[in-house]
Amino acid sequence: MTQTSPPHNPGSNNTEDRKSEMKQTQDLDVGATFLHGTIEHLEVDSREARSVLRKIDMFLLPVLAFTYMIQFLDKSCISYAALWGMVDDAHLVNDQYSWLTTIFYLGYMVGEFPINILFQKFDIAKTCGIFIILWGTTLLCMTAGHNFAGLATARLFLGILEAGVSPCFVLLTTMFYKRSEQPLRTCIWFSMNGVANILGGLIAYGIGHLHAALPAWKFPFIIFGSITVAWGIIFILVTPSNPTKARWLSDREKEIAVLRVVENETGMDNKTFKMEQVREALVDPRFWLINLHCLANTIPNGAVSAFAPLIVNGFGFTKFESTLLGMPSGASQVLALWISGYLATRFKGIRHFLMIGGLLVALLGGVLIFALPDSNRVGRLIGYYLLVGFSVNFVLSLTLLQSNVAGRTKKTMFASSFFVSYCVGNLIGPQLFFTREAPRYQSGFASMIVCFVVQIAIVVVMYTVNVRENKRRDLLNPNTSEDHQAAVVSLGLSDMTDAQNLHFRYVL
């Protein structure tokens, strides 16, 4: 694989030439400006390249995984607090508890675009680390809440501060891993939601047995908030914003890490915000399809995240039983994500089919919960465990966003709007679980079933659009020329969008 370097003309004093040179340099990303020409050829599957991949997995992946786990614990520990007396102590009435979940996603939605623009302008890892420290501090402040207004204010700021984590991890995964490697790694760090369910259940179970002067419902905020603040400091110290900043890679390994991901043709990073890429994103049908898909996916997610212990409790189990019985759901999620991530990495062209498979499993779970009578609490519990199928669908849609969007600003638009849709869905979901319908929540589970069916239809359309565009590009610009590899390198470091680069093929 031949590498490229930024254009340079040291002998030119012409103003127009300098402007042109500056524009060309801006079109390149940080990977191109780092390469020094020491590596003339790289086999992406060579022993040396595999060694760099193992090093990235060893140093980066655990950081992403642990951070995602504590983020999930932080935003969902309110459900454990509710189980141990927060609702009564804070005098929450009617749908105020639902609104505590909803207002988190309002804050998340408000913070999404501004934070992602900050990520493009500044060091993404250090900026993310600062936000981690701030949201841990906010979580600690939840212990001072004694009414709806105080708790709602803290939840609003918690949502704003957590808004950047998922987009940050999407971008970091894109910068460090090839497209074929992204599904498994994304599924691994996202599966920490399931691990968090298990650990959170154990911690919540232990908290329920505490006998202290402080109310039991405040302990989740104290425990998770303290861990988060400490971890934010560590995150800043150890996390690189791209391969060129990884202190645990040698200079040669950094160049190899950059060249490994050139074949993605999605770029690495570029600090110039480009309005033409914003306009391109808004007219791209994939932009609207993936946002509609995310909206339909996260309506069920918002409900399950907010009501998980209460849903299981409503099947007829005690509070202690509900806490423990929620843990297998986390284990099922981890297993489903790791299997689907491995299959998507191992076999080409099956991501959309795996998404449909996950939705069919979730659809079966929703139907079991909705249709089975109260007396069949085991059957309804099994249905609850099957709902994890929609997590597979969500994570694989994230990998499509990583793999199928090129151009740094366009990627920012896709990621930001995707997580705005994520917020809107999570805003809607809890509001469909009406207190008057407890414990069956008929409207909530009926809406889940509808959302699963809608998602299946959208995935079919997404697949069709990408297949047709790939075939069109094969006819216009077949990837068989001798200079194809050189073109891939040049285009992969140019900050061109997927629409501009006819060498680009969409992952299926």
Q: At what angle do helices 285-314 and 96-121 cross, to 10 degrees?
A: 140
Tokens of 263: 């074949």
Mean predicted lDDT score pLDDT of the chain = 85
Tokens of 471: 């075939």
Average pLDDT over residues 160-165: 89
pLDDT above 90: percentage of residues in the chain: 50
Local confidence band at 23 (pLDDT 50, 70, 90 cut-offs): very low
Query: For position 351, what pLDDT does the model report?
Result: 96
| Position 482 pLDDT exceeds 70 | no
Query: For position 3, what pLDDT does the model report?
Result: 44
The C-alpha atoms of residue 485 and residue 204 are separated, in whole angstroms, by 54
Query: For position 188, what pLDDT does the model report?
Result: 94
The C-alpha atoms of residue 187 and residue 417 are separated, in whole angstroms, by 21
Instruction: For tokens 């232990």, name the residue.
Output: 206
Query: For position 21, what pLDDT does the model report?
Result: 44
Q: 162-172 b/e with 16+ CB inside 10 Å = b? A: bbbbbbbbbbb
The C-alpha atoms of residue 155 and residue 149 are separated, in whole angstroms, by 10
The C-alpha atoms of residue 381 and residue 348 are separated, in whole angstroms, by 35
Q: pLDDT tens for residues 52-96?
A: 999 999 999 999 999 999 998 898 888 888 878 888 888 888 878
Query: For position 167, what pLDDT does the model report?
Result: 87
17 vs 378, more confident? 378
| Position 17 pLDDT exceeds 70 | no
The C-alpha atoms of residue 158 and residue 139 are separated, in whole angstroms, by 7
Closest CA to 296 of 196, 435, 205, 432: 432
Residues 6+ apart with CB under 8 A from 4: 32, 35, 489, 490, 493
Query: For position 4, what pLDDT does the model report?
Result: 44
Give me the helices (H) in 372-441, please: 377-386, 389-404, 408-431
Q: pLDDT tens for residues 282-310?
A: 999 999 999 999 999 999 987 887 777 77
Closest CA to 453 of 302, 284, 299, 311: 299
158 and 138 Cβ atoms separated by less than 8 Å: yes
Query: For position 480, what pLDDT does the model report?
Result: 53
Average pLDDT over residues 188-215: 82
The C-alpha atoms of residue 426 and residue 298 are separated, in whole angstroms, by 5
The C-alpha atoms of residue 184 and residue 186 are separated, in whole angstroms, by 6
Query: For position 11, what pLDDT does the model report?
Result: 45
Local confidence band at 18 (pLDDT 50, 70, 90 cut-offs): very low
pTM for this model (two decimals): 0.85
